[in-house]
Amino acid sequence: MPTITTTDGVEIYYKDWGSGQPIVFSHGWPLSSDDWDAQLMFFLQHGFRVVAHDRRGHGRSEQVAGGHDMDHYADDLLAVVEHLDLKDAIHVGHSTGGGEVAHYIARHGESRVAKAVLISAVPPIMVKTEANPGGLPKEVFDGIQEQVATNRSSFYRELPSTAFYGYNRDGVEPNDAIIGNWWRQGMMGGAKAHYDGVVAFSQTDFTEDLKKISVPVLVMHGDDDQVVPYADSGPLSAELVQNGTLKTYAGFPHGMPTTEAATINADLLAFIQS
């Protein structure tokens, strides 16, 4: 398997397919680069070079005990970018991956970045604070950590069966294969990485990161997102970046890159080519 070793000695698995302008995909919690299958194949067939890595502790990357925070996530992404010498790249992040993309650009600069896309992404900040009264209570994330620590396999069947893909909505038919694939990806990763990752995606404040981003940014968010609520995320992020465009999807769930791949891929392609 293709891997790189980070400066702190962690092996990171990555996919690197095709040629042309690179599109780099950062996945959500607690999944892997496999969650981008529909996008990787679409853009490969449209003449792009597609790159996606498994975050440390996730998928096929090394299950280390530490470093499960946004600084390390951003540095690991940089390690992949530099190893492959990617230039003029479009960075696309879903959910936690959106935070990773924002922090990577703010922390390491825009010299290798052409554009960015945040899909159902966690910025600016998920947890409720005095400065973010519209956020979710910390107890919500404490409960997720408790499930990861004590009941991970069952929890990883429940979440994609309900809120993640909107399968708990009236008239929406659950897809057992998609649910099983979500569970498979989650269980490939390490419990410690997933446990710590809850803090990383919920408590990191990306406000200042977003303000530093000057490349064009497309913010894509469904207004029926039950995991990262729309009102406290997508519209705020689009306003904070210097050159942002918000695209709102009526009724789309958090996992819309999978369940609504045709729409998302077409809109991504239009933004990249614009």
pLDDT (tens digit, 9 = 90+) per residue, 122-154?
A: 999 999 999 999 999 999 999 999 999 999 999
pTM for the model stands at: 0.98
CATH number of the domain bearing residue 60: 3.40.50.1820
pLDDT (tens digit, 9 = 90+) per residue, 102-126?
A: 999 999 999 999 999 999 999 999 9
| pLDDT-above-90 percentage for the chain | 100
Q: What number of other Cβ atoms are within 10 A of residue 223's Cβ?
A: 14
pLDDT (tens digit, 9 = 90+) per residue, 38-63?
A: 999 999 999 999 999 999 999 999 99
What integer pLDDT is reported at residue 93 of this predicted model? 99
Can you give the C-alpha Rg of the chain in angstroms? Answer: 17
Q: Which residue has the tokens 């696309």?
A: 92
Q: Please compute the mean of the pLDDT values over residues 189-201 and round it to a whole number.
A: 98
Domain residue limits at 241: 3-273
Domain count, the chain: 1
Verify cis geometry, omega within 30 degrees of 0, for the bond prior to 235.
Answer: no
What integer pLDDT is reported at residue 242 of this predicted model? 98
What integer pLDDT is reported at residue 123 of this predicted model? 98
Q: Could you list the active site residues?
A: 95, 225, 254
